[in-house]
A and B are shown apart, each in its own frame.
Chain A
Amino acid sequence: EAGVTQFPSHSVIEKGQTVTLRCDPISGHDNLYWYRRVMGKEIKFLLHFVKESKQDESGMPNNRFLAERTGGTYSTLKVQPAELEDSGVYFCASSKLTGPPDEKLFFGSGTQLSVL
């Protein structure tokens, strides 16, 4: 079974540019999450999709970040325009819709974003 796939693995852009990160969850997983770790900080929740609907986007830092999951399959996270403080590792995770307590998140390897 394929795991959670994230693309690209690394992205280097200049401040003010746009970057789009992609996440392909495990097939059949209705839940999809985005997390990120910025330099020196802890891993933080960004948002949660159930199928194509945003269940919780309370962790999105500001309106420069836009996440989509059209069709309830893969998801994209766009940063426009990127700022220096957006540098970090962006993780995607997916899970089956089983709810607590047995929900296990499967994480991708992340996208390392560097904004120069």
Chain B
Amino acid sequence: GAGVSQSPSNKVTEKGKDVELRCDPISGHTALYWYRQRLGQGLEFLIYFQGNSAPDKSGLPSDRFSAERTGESVSTLTIQRTQQEDSAVYLCASSLPSPYEQYFGPGTRLTVT
């Protein structure tokens, strides 16, 4: 079946602009996660959605970052007033409950100039 998809695959934006990144999880997966990977660094957790529960936003680095999810489908990660340090690959994953094995999308490479 179809895996996790993300769009766009690449995004170049000017400092100060807002960007929206999209994630389509695997159908039926109730959990959805966003991670960030800066060049040469490890992955950082950003936010986690599970069903209709309140999302776990503990990994969001600042109030410029927000994310929404429509039911158990599409999620959008929004970064407002982008900064150069936001440049990274943003990865989305989804999973079924137990054992919560996460399947990743190809990522969105964001470059802030």
Do A and B share a complex?
no
